[in-house]
Amino acid sequence: MPISFSGLASGLDSAAIVNSLMGVERIPLQRLQSQNSALTSKSRVVDQLSSALAALKTASDNLSTSGEFLSYAGSVSNDSAAKVTTTGDSVPGVYEVEVTALARAQRTYSVPFADADADLSASAQTLSLTIDGTTTDIAVPANASLREVAAAINGSGAAASAGILFDGTQYRLQVVGRNSGADNGITFADTGLGLGLEVPANTVQTATNAALTVDGFPVTHASNLIDDVLPGTTLELKAQTTAPIEVQIKADPAGVKVKLTAFVDAYNAVARLIQAQSGVGKGAETLNGDSTVRTIEQGLGRLISSPIPGLVGGGASSLQLADLGIQTQRDGTLTLDAEDLDGALAADFARAATYFAGDGTNAGMSGLMSDLIDGYTDSVDGLLTTRKKGLADVIKANSDTIEDKESYLERYEQSLKQQYAALEQVMSELQSQQSYLAQFLNSR
């Protein structure tokens, strides 16, 4: 049961004395708790820095090949007839294209049936579909309906899909090839279902190739998405043409600028996070003065501002990001000078990719940045991983000490209360004895 004492006997405010003594004893505990709070804040900053570096690595990796770095824009004089999609591997050029036929998939219907749910055959049958040399045999159980045959086709894995068409009075099974092109025509055979899919007249659309000419050269293709005629470029055919249409592919400096801006923004996010950790007045909850932060700041700064090892330009001059208009500011952040970038792209559009993608022998900025960041964020022995583990170890050690200290303080407080309670008991007894003696002496 709780120990209580009033101080009436001793005249002391025993509770206040105990509280004061406990306050002194709690000072080391409070210091540890405050330290753990600061260490937890530091650990969160390490996580934020790791995330920012990972985002920078992604932005850098997105420029790691010439195809990813460069941008090209495509246009079509008649966008209802075709659409052009470019990549960084496209080649500039102007082409005359005529579309004489679109690629189509086969569409075949069965003979009509009055009821889509009626039994087709009293015995089990087999429906076979042969597409591009592959035959799929579909087992149709006895008493299966037209709807069940459609479901069996869709679940067979054949390169075709099936559905039911109702024209208002009758039902037909529809089978459509999943792929266009003459090689993807479908031949049918069934052992007694009576669907009539094999009847030529029931095929309302045959599987055909796309046919077009590019600058007068004939091209056929199984699909309307043609990605192997113009390098790095996909041409999507939409309609036949009655006259040549013009397809133009040209360099897109604005697209390159968007990609480089994303890189600069990601780098600046890291730089500003580092800046927020250092300087006069920064508290213990920051990484102010932390060697890990200094190492990262210095490593990134050197990489960004130095010539790229092994890469040379005209006249054997070294290549550096400043040639693309990327400059380091006094606060460690980067800026992108659009005029300098435009000049570099105008001088040699394809060559500009070398700064980030490298030349095939020497790594560019993307490879160097990726390696550097991996050294900071590797999940096993990365610099930040090691730093966070160190913080976690100190927090754990402090937490163990705090737990032990709290247990000690609880025992110590109980001991103090018992001592003062005993003191009050003794003082009370002495006062009673004093009163008795006084009465005895007065009675003499």
Q: What is the pLDDT of residue 3?
A: 47
Q: Name residues whose C-beta falls within 8 Å of residue 436's C-beta, 6 or more positions apart in sequence.
A: none
Long-range CB pairs of 310-315, under 8 A, 24+ apart, other chains included: 310/359, 310/361, 310/362, 310/363, 311/354, 311/355, 311/358, 311/359, 311/362, 311/364, 313/351
Question: β-strands 203-205, 107-109: how paired?
Answer: antiparallel
* 33: exposed, middle or buried (Cβ count in 10 Å: 0-12, 13-18, 19+): middle
Strands ordered across the beta sheet of 225-226:
82-86, 233-237, 225-226
Q: Which residues of the chain have pLDDT under 50?
A: 1-5, 8
Residue 20: how many other CB atoms lie within 10 Å: 11
Q: What is the pLDDT of residue 444?
A: 63
Encoding tokens for residue 354?
């070398």
Question: β-strands 160-166, 93-101: how paired?
Answer: unpaired
Containing 421, the helix (H) or strand (E) segment is: helix 383-442
DSSP string, 127-139: EEEEETTEEEEEE
pTM for the full model? 0.73
Q: What's the pLDDT tens digit per position in 119-154?
A: 999 999 999 999 999 999 999 999 999 999 999 999
CA distance 197 to 203: 8
β-partners of residue 188 are 129
Q: What percent of the chain has pLDDT over 70?
A: 94
Contact assessment for residue 55 and residue 269, using Cβ atoms and an 8 Å cutoff: yes
Residue 367: how many other CB atoms lie within 10 Å: 17
Phi-psi region of 232 (alpha: psi -120 to 50; beta: other; left: phi over 0): left
Q: What is the pLDDT of residue 316?
A: 61
Contact assessment for residue 334 and residue 267, using Cβ atoms and an 8 Å cutoff: yes
Q: Which CATH number fits domain 107-205: 1.20.1640, 1.20.120, 1.10.3470, 2.60.40?
A: 2.60.40
- CATH class as words, domain 1-70+253-444: mainly alpha
What is the location of CATH 2.60.40 in the chain?
A: 107-205
Q: Give the gyration radius of the chain's Cα atoms.
A: 41
> What does the CA dihedral 106, 110, 112, 113 come to, rounded to 10 degrees?
-130
Q: What's the pLDDT tens digit per position in 381-416?
A: 999 999 889 888 888 888 888 788 888 778 877 887
What is the location of CATH 1.20.1330 in the chain?
A: 1-70+253-444
Q: What is the pLDDT of residue 281?
A: 64
Q: What is the pLDDT of residue 1?
A: 41
Angle (CA) 364-369-371 rounded to 5° is 100
Encoding tokens for residue 260?
């480089």
Angle (CA) 158-118-155 rounded to 5° is 20
What type of residue is 285? Answer: E
